[in-house]
Amino acid sequence: MLEIRQIFQEYKEETGNPVTTELVVELADSEETDLVIKAGVQDFLLSNQFVSKILAQVSQEPDVMLIYRNLFSAEGSEMYIKPIELFFPPEKVGKLSFADCVFAAQSRNEICLGVKIASQVQDKDNNFGIYLAPSLDAKFSLTLADELITIAEDET
């Protein structure tokens, strides 16, 4: 990961062009999150926590396994992190409730799972800006840099 970041930096210095490639990392050990943040990676998955939470949920609610089968099958829906402007016109972006986000996603035949706040992506104390399944009355001050986490058929 650090080597790839170095290659990105060298490319930028040699060409003067910004690197537009996004680097996503899977971490097996949550102890390494600080290293990942310092390396400039903004999207990462803590796989041990992810799998543990799925197993715990399925053990309590076996019917939820149908949803996971759909999500993890090749032809099923997928999770996406999508720009807020796909859901709201720029003049409507601002103080919104999570219910507003859910309704906006539903109007596109999507399911809103949460919100990603761009200004908090480096903030470990705020879960790196990821808010999954907040209460419907939770309020967010959203900007055009923020995103919604959805389940959808495609990324458009």
- For the chain, domain boundaries: 1-76, 77-156
Residue 106 pLDDT grade (very low, low, confident, very high; cuts 50, 70, 90): very high
Q: How many CB atoms are closer than 10 A to CB 105?
A: 21
Contact 110, 78 (CB under 8 A): no
How far apart CA 136 and CA 77 sit, in angstroms, is 23
Q: Give this prediction's pTM.
A: 0.63
pLDDT of residue 51: 74
How far apart CA 132 and CA 148 sit, in angstroms, is 10
Whether CATH 1.20.120 fits 77-156: no
Could you tell me if residue 94 is left (phi over 0), alpha (psi between -120 and 50 degrees) or otherwise beta? left
Q: Chain-centre distance of CA 53, in angstroms?
A: 16
What confidence tens digit (pLDDT) does each residue in 26-55 have?
667 667 777 777 766 666 666 667 777 788
